[in-house]
Structure 1
Amino acid sequence: MSQVGAVGPGAAPPAAAPGAAEGVRLAAGTVVEAQILESAEPGSGRVAVGRWVLDARFPAELPQGARFQARVEVEGPPVVLRLLEPPEADAARLAVPPRQALARAVVRLLEAARSDPDLAPLARLLRLSPEPRALASDLARWVRESGVFHESALARGEVPEDLKTLAGRLLGRLGDGPVREALEGLVRHVEAHQARGALTGGPVIPLVLPWPGGAVHGEIALEPERGGRGGPGRRYRALRIRLDLPNLGPVEVRAAWSPEGVRLGLAARAEVLPLVRARLDGLRRALTRDAGVRLVGLAVEALRPPAVEGPSVLEVRA
């Protein structure tokens, strides 16, 4: 098994802003594309991973200029990547999201729907309520109809009325322009999340939430039941929601359910945990009294720090 080791932050790539390499953030499960930029001697040199350029040791058989896809196995330090080979590499290429931001595509489509009635069915799916009770049902509908499960529904002989179906109809009549660009970007984001789900073993659904001051991008990942069967009959006992909020920064919520009730875990940056903990009683009342949730646990913890704080080690395993 070949591997890459002893990597430390190098200079930022030319296109990046000054200070872009202050901390490498590679979340476990993320698919990245890397390139050997410079091979000073066999097995060492400089590697570009995302927007970072890193000094690295790498397998000697990887020549200068080589590009490869890899999945983050361990956030680190040390960071561990695993090289992907076909068919995983094919899924990895699909898992790279388009350049157009998902939130921007959704906002553009919702704005266009105000004057185009043909976009109304898609807008009803994309528009999520800011009111908590209505948001719960909106999210349930979005998870089902996001298009992430489109192909599995077709395989069962069903004809889903989901995002991919609606998008196909619209793309058949739309000419070139910003609306078509936004719709194509939205579909590509869904397909990228489908590919991520294939790589990680559980569905990952993209998410754009309304928020004061603008939309918030995130995702919902469903966690399969341990030891459960695969395929269409697979059962899920937990979900994980990741959001990047304007004031709190990255926030992760994990909800696991069992016959006894629901266990909830919140994670945020260490510096905002006092603010989160100050609102726990209100959250507990909202869940138990207002929403009728049988809450058997509510925990708060700090998110893991960025993958790199000073020198790091990056290992790429084949």
Structure 2
Amino acid sequence: MTETSAPRLLGPAEVRALAARLDLRPTKQRGQNFVIDPNTVRRIVRESGVVAGESVLEVGPGLGSLTLALLETGADVTAIEVDPLLAAELPQTIATFAPGHVDRFRVVLADALAVTEVPGPPPRALVANLPYNVSVPVLLHLMALLPSLEHGLVMVQAEVADRLAAPPGSKTYGVPSAKAAWFADVRRAGAIGRNVFWPAPNVDSGLVAWTHHAPPTDRVTREQVFAVIDAAFAQRRKALRGALRELAGGAEAASAALATAGIEPLTRGEALGIDEFIAIAVALAEQAAAR
């Protein structure tokens, strides 16, 4: 292999050999299911739209399957890994399987939910196989933390993928869908079977693609809008007049804010899009300012 050759991707034999050398026992606690199919990681990268020279953030690189496919595009990759064993091994894996691409890769030992900055050039794309148990909090945290992100694609549990991409009024629409809509246009980008992982998870996976847009308002903060969303879905079957009572400071105040926003008080949160949640937040802020 020459230094200018393309990376070699990890297949089942390579993944199991790496795991055996590290005496690695994947844990459910950290959602460790490693992709063993090169065609799958190439598909993820293709769907992500990552191009040569782009700065990419990856979360949970594990043994490096997706990392190598990202480097294959010519992208610059920063990977955040919470497992010290995996984070320490990853540079050696890149040096072995992609020796001509080492200078375009860095790994950060950190919890993605707790990071406050990311070293290197500001990332334009987020591409990740996210641990199922923290996928939504990680995605929303990084969208909020990194305004440089323009687009991305994440692999998550199929049910979570449905929720993230759900439109208002659908059965799967909820807090993840509404909050993600603040940051981006979100869409389902395909399904992933269980047999491309080791160990195989007991659920199917889905791909979620998103394209960043500017904050939809500057009249209220994101936190104010998210407080309305959280209250609206805290008791999903409850009408907004009751669901917003505590946040508004009483049922009358909640009804008045909904009237100002042009929303029927018996409407449920699942029927509202991000613009309606913003209208309620604005009305509540105006009420508070008038007191």
Query: What interval of TM-score do these two structures reach, taking the shorter chain for normalisation?
Result: under 0.3
TM-score with structure 2 length normalisation?
0.26
Of structures 1 and 2, the one scoring higher in RCO (CA 8 A, sep 6+) is: 1
Greater strand proportion: 1
TM-score with structure 1 length normalisation?
0.25
Greater helix proportion: 2
